[in-house]
A = this chain, B = another copy of it.
Amino acid sequence: MPRLNPAPEFDVATWLNTPQPITLASLAGKVVLIEAFQMLCPGCVEHGLPQAARVRAAFPTSEVAVIGLHTVFEHHEAQGTVAALKAFLHEYRIGFPVGIDQPSVHGAAPRTMTAYQMQGTPTLILIDRLGRLRAQHFGHVTDLRLGAEIQALIGETVPAPATAPATTTLDAVCTQEGCTVPSL
Protein backbone atom coordinates (compact mmCIF):
# COMPACT_ATOMS: atom_id res chain seq x y z
CA MET A 1 0.00 0.00 0.00
CA PRO A 2 1.71 3.15 -1.18
CA ARG A 3 2.02 5.96 1.36
CA LEU A 4 4.22 8.40 -0.49
CA ASN A 5 2.52 11.09 -2.52
CA PRO A 6 3.57 12.23 -5.96
CA ALA A 7 5.14 15.67 -5.90
CA PRO A 8 2.96 18.37 -7.48
CA GLU A 9 4.03 19.24 -11.02
CA PHE A 10 5.65 22.62 -11.73
CA ASP A 11 3.26 25.41 -12.67
CA VAL A 12 5.73 27.88 -14.11
CA ALA A 13 5.21 31.07 -16.11
CA THR A 14 8.74 31.41 -17.53
CA TRP A 15 11.85 29.26 -17.46
CA LEU A 16 15.37 30.69 -17.40
CA ASN A 17 18.74 28.99 -17.81
CA THR A 18 17.21 26.16 -19.82
CA PRO A 19 16.48 25.81 -23.54
CA GLN A 20 13.02 24.38 -22.86
CA PRO A 21 10.46 24.10 -20.08
CA ILE A 22 11.11 21.48 -17.42
CA THR A 23 8.59 19.07 -15.98
CA LEU A 24 8.98 16.74 -13.04
CA ALA A 25 7.79 14.01 -15.35
CA SER A 26 10.80 14.58 -17.59
CA LEU A 27 13.11 14.23 -14.58
CA ALA A 28 11.77 10.83 -13.57
CA GLY A 29 14.62 8.53 -12.60
CA LYS A 30 16.62 11.32 -11.02
CA VAL A 31 16.60 12.75 -7.54
CA VAL A 32 15.28 16.33 -7.78
CA LEU A 33 16.17 19.22 -5.49
CA ILE A 34 13.92 22.28 -5.75
CA GLU A 35 15.23 25.47 -4.20
CA ALA A 36 12.30 27.82 -3.75
CA PHE A 37 13.49 31.37 -3.26
CA GLN A 38 12.86 35.06 -3.71
CA MET A 39 15.61 37.30 -5.04
CA LEU A 40 15.14 39.82 -2.21
CA CYS A 41 15.04 37.22 0.58
CA PRO A 42 18.33 37.53 2.53
CA GLY A 43 18.22 33.94 3.81
CA CYS A 44 17.88 32.70 0.22
CA VAL A 45 20.77 34.81 -1.04
CA GLU A 46 23.08 33.98 1.85
CA HIS A 47 22.25 30.34 2.47
CA GLY A 48 19.68 28.67 0.24
CA LEU A 49 20.98 29.45 -3.22
CA PRO A 50 24.68 28.91 -2.44
CA GLN A 51 23.76 25.55 -0.91
CA ALA A 52 21.81 24.56 -4.02
CA ALA A 53 24.84 25.49 -6.11
CA ARG A 54 27.05 23.33 -3.89
CA VAL A 55 24.69 20.39 -4.36
CA ARG A 56 24.84 20.85 -8.09
CA ALA A 57 28.65 20.79 -7.98
CA ALA A 58 28.89 17.84 -5.60
CA PHE A 59 26.57 15.34 -7.29
CA PRO A 60 26.53 14.17 -10.91
CA THR A 61 23.75 15.77 -12.93
CA SER A 62 22.84 12.31 -14.15
CA GLU A 63 21.77 11.49 -10.60
CA VAL A 64 20.57 14.75 -9.09
CA ALA A 65 18.74 17.64 -10.80
CA VAL A 66 18.87 21.04 -9.10
CA ILE A 67 16.02 23.39 -10.02
CA GLY A 68 15.40 26.88 -8.74
CA LEU A 69 11.86 28.14 -8.28
CA HIS A 70 11.21 31.86 -7.93
CA THR A 71 8.19 31.97 -5.65
CA VAL A 72 7.32 35.64 -5.35
CA PHE A 73 4.76 36.21 -2.64
CA GLU A 74 5.76 39.75 -1.63
CA HIS A 75 7.34 42.83 -3.21
CA HIS A 76 5.81 41.89 -6.56
CA GLU A 77 6.71 45.21 -8.12
CA ALA A 78 10.41 44.73 -7.32
CA GLN A 79 10.75 41.00 -7.82
CA GLY A 80 7.98 40.20 -10.23
CA THR A 81 9.53 40.88 -13.60
CA VAL A 82 11.54 38.52 -15.75
CA ALA A 83 14.14 41.24 -16.25
CA ALA A 84 14.72 41.61 -12.51
CA LEU A 85 15.24 37.89 -12.03
CA LYS A 86 17.48 37.66 -15.08
CA ALA A 87 19.70 40.42 -13.70
CA PHE A 88 19.82 38.69 -10.33
CA LEU A 89 20.76 35.29 -11.79
CA HIS A 90 23.43 36.95 -13.90
CA GLU A 91 25.01 38.88 -11.03
CA TYR A 92 24.94 35.95 -8.62
CA ARG A 93 26.18 33.55 -11.29
CA ILE A 94 23.38 31.05 -10.82
CA GLY A 95 23.64 28.58 -13.66
CA PHE A 96 20.98 25.99 -12.92
CA PRO A 97 17.48 26.18 -14.41
CA VAL A 98 15.08 28.52 -12.64
CA GLY A 99 11.33 28.64 -13.10
CA ILE A 100 9.19 31.64 -12.24
CA ASP A 101 6.31 30.28 -10.25
CA GLN A 102 2.93 31.04 -11.86
CA PRO A 103 1.38 34.03 -10.08
CA SER A 104 -1.97 33.53 -8.46
CA VAL A 105 -4.80 35.95 -8.66
CA HIS A 106 -5.57 38.27 -5.77
CA GLY A 107 -1.99 38.43 -4.52
CA ALA A 108 -1.98 34.98 -2.97
CA ALA A 109 1.20 32.90 -3.00
CA PRO A 110 2.02 31.64 -6.49
CA ARG A 111 0.65 28.34 -7.72
CA THR A 112 3.47 25.82 -7.30
CA MET A 113 4.27 27.29 -3.91
CA THR A 114 0.63 26.85 -2.95
CA ALA A 115 0.47 23.30 -4.27
CA TYR A 116 3.39 22.35 -2.01
CA GLN A 117 1.92 24.28 0.91
CA MET A 118 5.23 26.05 1.37
CA GLN A 119 5.46 28.30 4.40
CA GLY A 120 7.93 30.78 2.92
CA THR A 121 11.40 31.08 1.46
CA PRO A 122 13.89 29.55 1.31
CA THR A 123 12.25 26.14 1.05
CA LEU A 124 14.25 23.13 -0.09
CA ILE A 125 12.34 20.19 -1.52
CA LEU A 126 13.59 16.69 -2.33
CA ILE A 127 11.81 14.41 -4.76
CA ASP A 128 12.79 10.79 -5.29
CA ARG A 129 13.49 8.91 -8.50
CA LEU A 130 9.83 7.98 -8.73
CA GLY A 131 8.64 11.57 -8.52
CA ARG A 132 7.45 11.39 -4.94
CA LEU A 133 7.81 14.20 -2.40
CA ARG A 134 10.27 13.02 0.23
CA ALA A 135 11.46 16.07 2.18
CA GLN A 136 10.52 19.72 2.49
CA HIS A 137 12.68 22.04 4.59
CA PHE A 138 11.64 25.59 5.33
CA GLY A 139 14.66 27.58 6.47
CA HIS A 140 18.12 26.28 7.14
CA VAL A 141 19.25 22.67 6.71
CA THR A 142 22.88 21.74 7.28
CA ASP A 143 25.06 20.49 4.45
CA LEU A 144 25.84 17.34 6.42
CA ARG A 145 22.16 16.48 6.81
CA LEU A 146 21.32 17.45 3.24
CA GLY A 147 24.15 15.37 1.80
CA ALA A 148 22.83 12.38 3.72
CA GLU A 149 19.24 12.91 2.60
CA ILE A 150 20.20 13.23 -1.05
CA GLN A 151 22.42 10.15 -0.86
CA ALA A 152 19.63 8.14 0.74
CA LEU A 153 17.42 8.90 -2.25
CA ILE A 154 20.21 8.23 -4.73
CA GLY A 155 20.66 4.83 -3.13
CA GLU A 156 17.07 3.75 -3.56
CA THR A 157 16.46 1.10 -6.16
CA VAL A 158 13.74 1.74 -8.68
CA PRO A 159 10.99 0.82 -8.15
CA ALA A 160 11.34 1.75 -4.52
CA PRO A 161 9.48 -0.35 -1.98
CA ALA A 162 5.89 0.76 -1.90
CA THR A 163 5.72 0.36 1.86
CA ALA A 164 8.48 2.79 2.68
CA PRO A 165 7.34 5.26 5.30
CA ALA A 166 6.61 8.81 4.38
CA THR A 167 9.51 10.96 5.51
CA THR A 168 8.33 14.35 4.46
CA THR A 169 9.34 16.80 7.09
CA LEU A 170 7.66 20.13 7.47
CA ASP A 171 9.71 22.30 9.77
CA ALA A 172 7.27 24.27 11.81
CA VAL A 173 9.63 26.89 13.16
CA CYS A 174 10.44 29.91 11.05
CA THR A 175 13.93 31.22 11.60
CA GLN A 176 15.04 34.81 11.19
CA GLU A 177 16.69 33.86 7.95
CA GLY A 178 13.48 32.90 6.21
CA CYS A 179 10.43 34.72 4.94
CA THR A 180 7.11 33.28 6.04
CA VAL A 181 4.05 33.33 3.87
CA PRO A 182 1.83 35.68 5.87
CA SER A 183 -1.34 33.74 5.29
CA LEU A 184 -0.07 30.42 6.66
Q: Which residues of A contact B (CB under 8 A)?
A: 40-42, 45-46, 54-55, 58-59, 74-75, 77-79, 81, 83-88, 90-92, 142-152, 154-155, 179
Contact = CB atoms under 8 A, between A and B. Distances in A.
B143 A147 contact: yes
Contacts of A58: 142, 144-145, 148
Contacts of A143: 142-144, 147
Contacts of A88: 40, 78
A86 B75 CA distance: 9
Query: Which 8 pairs from chain A and chain B are nearest by CB?
Result: A147-B147, A143-B143, A78-B84, A75-B87, A148-B151, A151-B151, A78-B87, A147-B148
Contacts of A155: 151-152, 155
A79 B87 contact: yes
A57 to B, nearest CB: 9
Contacts of A46: 46
A78 B75 contact: no
Given A45-B45, A83-B77, A155-B151, A40 B144 contact: no
